[in-house]
Homo-oligomer: A and B are copies of this chain.
Amino acid sequence: MQIIPINELKELHGLLPLLPMLYVGWTNGILSPTEILRLQEYVNSQTWLTTQEQGYLKSWLNPQNPPAEAQRHDWLSVIRDYSDGTSVVGLADFGRYIARRVDARLDEEVNRALEFVEGTLGARGREAIRQLIPQTYDLPVLVESQSPSFNVAQLTQTLDGQHAAFKQRLRQLLTTPQFAYHQSHDSEAYRADVLRWLEQLADQGLGSAAYPAAFGGRDDIAQYLVTMEMLGHHDLSLLVKFGVQFGLFGSSILALGTRHHHERYLAAVGNLQLLGGFGMTESGHGSNVRGLETTATFDAATDEFIIHTPTESARKAYIGNAARDGEMLVVFARLITQGEDYGISPFLVPIRDGQGKLMDGVRIVDHGDKVGLNGVDNGRVSFEYVRIPRENLLNRFADVAADGTYSSPIDKESRRFFTMLGTLVGGRIGIGLTSLSVAKNALTIAIRYANRRRQFGRNDQPETLLIDYKTHQRRLLPPLAQTIALDFALHGLLDQYAASVKQPMQADTRTIETLAAGLKARSSWNATHIVQAAREATGAQGYLAENQLGRLRQDCDIFTTFEGDNTVLMQLVAKERLVALGKEMRGGKIVGVLLRQLWRGIRPKKSHKITSSHLRDSRFHKRLFAAREQTRVLALAKRLQQLVKQGADPTDAQIAAQNDFIRLADALIDRELLAHFLRGVAGTKDPAVRAVLDKLASLFALWQIEQDAAWFMENGYLSRRKSRAIRAEVESLCEELRYQALHVVNGFAIPDALLAAPIGTR
């Protein structure tokens, strides 16, 4: 077959953009005869090629008579003329670059053609480019720049958002010498340090920020929660003590008490004159707090409640601030009056007098050493007929008159109970935000180390940076992307929650509660996984205590359990989604026919596109995430319906389908995270910052899709080929982001004094 001379080849402007793909396709032998025929047909319809160009192209697409070695060699020479160090991300992109260089036609149609050919080829990304320009292995022709592609301070501003000034103030406060980390192994000394720190925070008015101005506060729940977020960069024992004192204890008085409680206690809680704790959990009743057994029996004769621990399993357990410092607890106990049990209500119960002596009938056992958080004095508390005045009932949702008559504005016991639990929502957002900070600390340490430490490599060159290893990128970069997704989502939720506190009547409380539960779970798991990944990624260095990863792991680990066990919270998310489905169907009842209709409605438009631009398109991600959630909620509804129809008790049905509950919740949280991330990207003004965030959003979405690829394939949402392409695209994104990741973590702006890890300093 005829070989076209190089000079003539260079004039075929319409063909030049296709040469990279032709070369890779033939050289790798990745074109099957069928694919070649498909390309041949396609060529006929391309009006942007001259007849001569079409002719040549067809002659090059003959499986019986492939282009000669010499011809391919000439293609390569021409291609290399255009490899001048510009960074291109794939074959179609390279084609576009060549088209621009030779002023060839480059409109929608040509672009579509390039993407079609790239898609048919299936050879994608940088690696294909490297095949064309092998010296890129030696020279940094297409290697990403190690200097930042964006202004790091701008990223910090984007992430800090409206809280920028306040966060900056806290970064400064927490790096002052009085907040230097505690060093000894002596728990008592550590507890004393934590209490001292807590006093500093109270002095700054940070603890009472959420309380009404009338009681020493600033009516600013957002500031209170952002303080929790910032404490996540520092010491988690302090964070927990802070949350117990001002959040669980103080907010309970605010939310469950009435004016006389507020007047008497709130200011003292805010300025630490009164230290307290939150007595909900019992030894036998952790997640299932409706099973609490402690009793509060009203004695009309003395106008008192008698608080009592009737069994071993009723002992209040893991109560923060109880073992050493607390003087009062909000105790949740079954309110019994006139012989009737009215369910669980909150009571203020003094546990120590002003001199630190235990009150009569109160017994407290120090829980002693814990896995972490040993700066917090957790204790197990039991009561032996402890008498408190009637007014110590926090009586916003239920009251008892002097004669023992019970009254409540909320009829149903279960609704009363869940209204009471609503006070936990703020705490869950706080734990989500704190976990976010833990993840950022660990990522900063590990990613900085990976950009310094070298190990192995070619003999003729410096050893390879850890971050250049693909396994290292996979370990750290997708979790980095998820962390930023969580950052946007938690701050979005925080705004919504703060607004709801100001205007409760207009708030969508259920959505906020659901999201708070789901994001708390995801964020605490994210932190746990990242700390572990960071420890492994920093090798023996990461195992030295001085590099903090051990401390972070031991301290943050319990976040997956407390303020609601993650698995229980995820079930709650799924349940709420089912309720919403019921409402969508109006009757509140899920009817088979309707189900089937909805089902058909969500069948995916199948797209086999595997070009980079399609795979990175957020519309593609959103469509998949929405379809997954919808499919799962409908499938779960149907399954539950069947189980119940066949006689299963609803509780048993839920246990039988429990894994499906979790899978539905995962899908919902992913969808929310992506939506918040994309909103955050869209709201970013600085184009360079937006560009890097945009890539991270794609990485987050594709990584999640990759992890669930089996399900997407099973349900017909992904072809086998596309699933493979997604895996490769995740790797490409990791590679593109590997140096920028360093600047992204720098954008978290965590002061070195807070990281306190020699391998993680700036």
Measured in the bound complex, the distance between the Cα atoms of B78 and A201 in whole Å is 73
Which listed residue (B131, B135, B463) contacts A288, Cβ 8 A? Answer: B463
Question: Which residues on the B side are within 8 Å of A545 (C-beta)?
Answer: 368-371
Q: Which of A540-566 contact B (CB under 8 A)?
A: 540, 542-546, 549-550, 553-554, 557-558, 560-562, 565-566
In the complex, A470 has a CB within 8 A of chain B: yes
From A650, which residue of chain B is reached at the shortest CB distance? Answer: B458
Given the contacts A135-B647, A137-B649, A185-B186, A318 and B540 also touching, CB distance less than 8 Å: yes
A467 to B542, CA, bound (A): 35
User: Per-residue 0/1 for A5-44: is the Cβ within 8 Å of any B Cβ (1 yes, 0 no)?
Assistant: 0000000000000000000000011000000000000000
Question: Which candidate, A218-226, A299-307, A655-663, is the interface stretch facing chain B?
Answer: A655-663
Q: Which of B456, B469, B560, B709 contacts A710 (CB 8 A)?
A: B709
Residues on B with C-beta less than 8 A from A553 are 371, 553-554
Q: How far is the CA of A455 from the CA of B369 in the complex (A)?
A: 25
Q: Cβ of A474 < 8 Å from any Cβ of B?
A: yes
Nearest residue (CB) in B for A525 is B536
A568 to chain B, nearest CB (A): 8
Q: How far apart sit A713 and B662, CA to CA, in the bound complex (Å)?
A: 23
A471 to B287, CA, bound (A): 15
| A506 close to B (CB within 8 Å) | no
B463 near A291 (CB under 8 angstroms)? yes
CA A714 to CA B706, docked complex, whole Å: 12
Assembly CA distance A566 to B533 (angstroms): 12
Separation of A372 and B549 alpha carbons in the complex (Å): 11
B731 engages A720 (CB within 8 Å): no
Chain B contacts of A291 at CB under 8 A?
A: 463
Contact B567 A539 (CB under 8 A): no
Give a binary string over A569-591; 1 marks a CB under 8 Å from any B CB, 0 the rest: 00000000000000000000000
User: What is the CA–CA distance of A553 and B543 in the complex, to the nearest angstrom?
Assistant: 12
Q: Tell whether A690 is near chain B: CB-to-CB under 8 Å.
A: no
Whether B642 and A455, one on each chain, are in contact in the complex, defined by CB atoms closer than 8 angstroms, is no
A723 at the interface (CB under 8 A from B): yes
Interface size class of A (residues with CB under 8 A): 35 or more
CB-based contact B562/A371 at 8 Å: no
Q: Which residues of B contact A369 (CB under 8 A)?
A: 544-546
Complexed CA–CA distance, A471 and B286 (Å): 17
**Which of A285, A372, A456 has the most CB atoms of chain B within a 10 A radius of its CB?**
A456
The answer to whether the Cβ of A743 comes within 8 Å of any Cβ in the partner chain is no
Does chain B have a CB within 8 A of A149? no
Q: Which residues of A in the span 281-295 have a Cβ within 8 Å of any Cβ on B?
A: 281, 285-288, 291
Q: Which residues of the other chain, B, contact A720 by a CB distance below 8 angstroms?
A: 713-716
Bound-complex Cα distance A543 to B647 (A): 39
B residues in contact with A647, CB < 8 Å: 134-135, 137
Bound CA span A138–B647, Å: 10
Chain B CB within 8 A of A671 CB: no
Task: Check A724 against B714 for contact (C-beta < 8 Å).
Answer: yes
A651 and B710 within 8 A (CB): no
- The reply to whether B565 and A543 contact each other, CB–CB distance below 8 Å, is no
Asked whether A464 is an interface residue with its Cβ less than 8 Å from the other chain, the reply is yes
Give the residue of B137, B185, B648, B655 whose beta carbon is less than 8 angstroms from that of A652. Answer: B137
A457 within 8 Å of B (CB atoms): yes
Interface pair A655/B463, CB less than 8 Å apart: no
Q: Is the CB of A287 within 8 A of B656?
A: no
Chain A 305-325 interface residues, beta-carbon cutoff 8 Å to B: 317-318
With a 10 A CB-CB cut-off, give which of A372, A455, A468 has the most chain B CB atoms: A455
Cβ of A384 within 8 Å of any chain B Cβ, yes or no, is no
A368 / chain B contacts, CB cutoff of 8 Å: 544-546
> How close is A284's CB to chain B, nearest CB, in angstroms?
8
Is the beta-carbon distance between A532 and B528 smaller than 8 angstroms? yes
Over the window 129-165 of chain A, the binary record of Cβ atoms lying under 8 Å from chain B Cβ atoms (1 yes, 0 no) is: 0110011011000000000000000000000000000
Q: Which of A368, A642, A652 has the most CB of B within 10 A?
A: A652
**Distance of A368 from chain B, by nearest CB (Å):** 7
Distance from A293 Cβ to chain B, minimum over Cβ atoms (Å): 13
A286-B455, A288-B463, A706-B710 known; 10 other A-B pairs, CB under 8 Å? A130-B646, A185-B185, A185-B186, A285-B455, A367-B544, A469-B658, A471-B659, A536-B560, A709-B710, A714-B723
Q: Can you list 30 residue pairs at the A/B interface with Cβ under 8 Å?
A: A28-B642, A134-B648, A137-B647, A286-B540, A288-B455, A288-B456, A317-B540, A318-B540, A371-B543, A371-B550, A372-B543, A372-B550, A458-B649, A458-B652, A471-B567, A471-B658, A471-B659, A471-B662, A536-B566, A539-B561, A539-B565, A543-B557, A543-B558, A550-B554, A553-B553, A553-B554, A659-B731, A710-B710, A710-B713, A714-B724
Interface, chain A (partner B; CB < 8 A): 28-29, 127, 130-131, 134-135, 137-138, 185-186, 281, 285-288, 291, 317-318, 367-372, 455-458, 463-464, 468-471, 474, 528, 532, 535-536, 539-540, 542-546, 549-550, 553-554, 557-558, 560-562, 565-567, 592, 642-643, 646-649, 651-652, 655-656, 658-659, 662, 706, 709-710, 713-716, 720-721, 723-724, 731
